[in-house]
């Protein structure tokens, strides 16, 4: 029983370590600074979004709108810059877009008690549609050079680290974090224990929006453009990272470090398969298999 618990709790870290060692031995191109920087750059977006998603899944919910939020937030950030707004203001606009959409998600989930899956699925369509409408389906280019450094070099790693440390503090060192676990573990019991469950849920979806907004700004920086299609399928990458990271889809169990490891497990898997020239189609199949294995593990430890 104890072994089973420990094993399932640390499964993702063990898997990540094994993956790392195998690739380091088998693929000479893997263990190079250039490749590490590459892996970090590619996976910081999904990891940041997954940090927010962890909160939603811990409450037993989900946020499918985050990919679209990345698109709209990136578009609005780029548009603000093109129209001559300052960089800080443009960043605030991008992040506020995410926060606002998260707030609407949270209010709808709690006020009309529609399952988060449906609410955020609807929001995914609405927000993506808004991004296309706003840009007329065109790419906003010609951004001033100031935004590019955000997603270069170490800044992306630093931003990701800040996001994860903040998420850890919120989850493990505040009453709010405990309330998140309690809401997912047994919502009725949490409510009867004086936890204002609805407020917790609203905050959780705001956090999802916040992390997606941050990712949106970074994506705009990376692309050096506002691209209305940006972030498509990111919601699924984020969910995959959280689940592979050991957080239970049933709510109430999981960890933020598991999510970080989950995101990089998937990212390094992609990277390794690339290094071995595995076709993108086979990569998708491999990713799907990993996700299924993680979900099965979650079931097994119930």
Partner 1 sequence: MTVLRDGTRVAGAPVAGLDRRQLIRWMVGRDVSEEFPPRAPKPGDIALEVSHLSAPPRFHDVSFSVRAGEIVGLAGLVGAGRSSAGLALAGALKAEGVAAIGGSSARFDSPADALKHGVAYLTEDRKGRGILPLMSAAANVTLANLDAYRAGGLLNTARERAAAATAAKDFIVKAASLDQPASTLSGGNQQKLLLARFLLTKPRVVILDEPTRGVDVGARADIYQLMNRLTDEGLAVIMISSDLTELLGMSDRVIVMRDGRVTGELPRGAATPEKVMALATGEAAA
Which lies closer to partner 1 via its Cβ, residue 20 or residue 191?
191
Torsional class of 225: left (φ above 0), alpha (ψ -120 to 50), beta (otherwise): beta
Contact flag: residue 203 with partner 1 (CB under 8 A): no
Residues facing 226 on adjacent strands = 140
CB < 8 Å & 24+ apart, contacts of 171-174: 171/54, 171/55, 171/58, 171/255, 171/256, 172/256
Which lies closer to partner 1 via its Cβ, residue 136 or residue 188?
188
State the minimum distance, in angstroms, from the CB of residue 196 to partner 1.
5
Q: Rule CB under 8 A: choose which of 192, 285, 292, 293 binds partner 1.
A: 192
Q: Which stretch binds partner 1 (CB under 8 A): 128-136, 177-185, 228-236, 262-270?
A: 177-185
Which lies closer to partner 1 via its Cβ, residue 1 or residue 233?
1
* CA proximity to 76, closest of 49, 41, 101, 52: 101
Q: Rule CB under 8 A: choose which of 128, 203, 222, 253 binds partner 1.
A: 253
- Phi, psi dihedrals of residue 140, rounded to the nearest 5°: -90, 115
Contact by Cβ (8 Å): 52, 211: yes
Q: Rule CB under 8 A: choose which of 42, 186, 224, 283 binds partner 1.
A: 186
Q: Rule CB under 8 A: choose which of 141, 193, 280, 285 binds partner 1.
A: 193
State the minimum distance, in angstroms, from the CB of residue 298 to partner 1.
13
Q: Which stretch binds partner 1 (CB under 8 A): 33-41, 59-67, 82-90, 181-189?
A: 181-189
State the minimum distance, in angstroms, from the CB of residue 62 to partner 1.
19
* CA proximity to 94, closest of 7, 176, 215: 215
- 140 to 169, contacts with partner 1 by CB under 8 A? 169
State the minimum distance, in angstroms, from the CB of residue 255 to partner 1.
12
Residue 114 tokens read as 């529609």
Task: For residue 208, give the H/E element and its range.
Answer: helix 197-223
- Say how far apart CA 66 and CA 211 lie, in whole Å: 8
- Say how far apart CA 226 and CA 76 lie, in whole Å: 7
Which lies closer to partner 1 via its Cβ, residue 76 or residue 207?
207
State the minimum distance, in angstroms, from the CB of residue 63 to partner 1.
22
Buried b / exposed e over 96-118, threshold 16 CB at 10 Å, is ebbbebbbbbbbbbbeeeeebee
Contact by Cβ (8 Å): 71, 229: yes
- Say how far apart CA 51 and CA 241 lie, in whole Å: 9
Size of the site for partner 1 (CB under 8 A): 22
Contact flag: residue 188 with partner 1 (CB under 8 A): yes
State the minimum distance, in angstroms, from the CB of residue 72 to partner 1.
31
Residues engaged in binding partner 1 (CB under 8 A): 169, 173-175, 177-179, 181-182, 185-186, 188-196, 252-253
């Amino acid at each position: 029983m104890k072994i089973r618990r420990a094993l399932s709790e640390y499964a993702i870290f063990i898997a990540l370590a094994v993956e790392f060692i195998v690739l380091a031995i088998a693929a000479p191109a893997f263990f190079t600074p250039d490749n590490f920087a590459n892996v970090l750059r590619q996976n910081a977006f999904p990891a940041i979004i997954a940090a927010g998603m962890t909160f939603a899944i811990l409450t037993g919910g989900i946020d499918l709108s985050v990919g679209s939020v990345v698109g709209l937030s990136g578009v609005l950030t780029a548009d603000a810059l093109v129209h001559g707004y300052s960089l800080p203001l443009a960043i605030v606009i991008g992040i506020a877009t995410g926060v606002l959409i998260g707030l609407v998600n949270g209010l709808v989930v709690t006020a009309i008690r529609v399952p988060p899956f449906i609410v955020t699925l609807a929001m995914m369509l609405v927000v993506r549609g808004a991004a296309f409408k706003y840009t007329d389906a065109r790419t906003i280019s010609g951004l001033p050079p100031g935004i590019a450094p955000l997603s270069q070099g170490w800044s992306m790693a630093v931003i990701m680290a800040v996001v994860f440390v903040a998420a850890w503090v919120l989850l493990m060192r505040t009453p709010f974090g405990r309330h998140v676990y309690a809401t997912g573990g047994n919502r009725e019991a949490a409510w009867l224990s004086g936890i204002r469950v609805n407020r917790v849920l609203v905050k959780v979806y705001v956090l999802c929006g916040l992390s997606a907004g941050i990712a949106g700004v970074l994506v705009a920086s990376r692309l050096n453009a506002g691209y209305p299609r940006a972030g498509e399928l990111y919601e699924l990458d984020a969910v995959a990272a959280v689940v592979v990271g050991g957080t239970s889809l049933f709510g109430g169990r999981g960890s933020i470090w598991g999510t970080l490891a989950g995101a990089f497990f998937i990212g390094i898997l992609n990277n390794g398969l690339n290094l071995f020239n595995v076709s993108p189609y086979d990569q998708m199949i491999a990713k799907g298999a990993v996700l299924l294995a993680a979900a099965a593990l979650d079931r097994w430890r119930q």
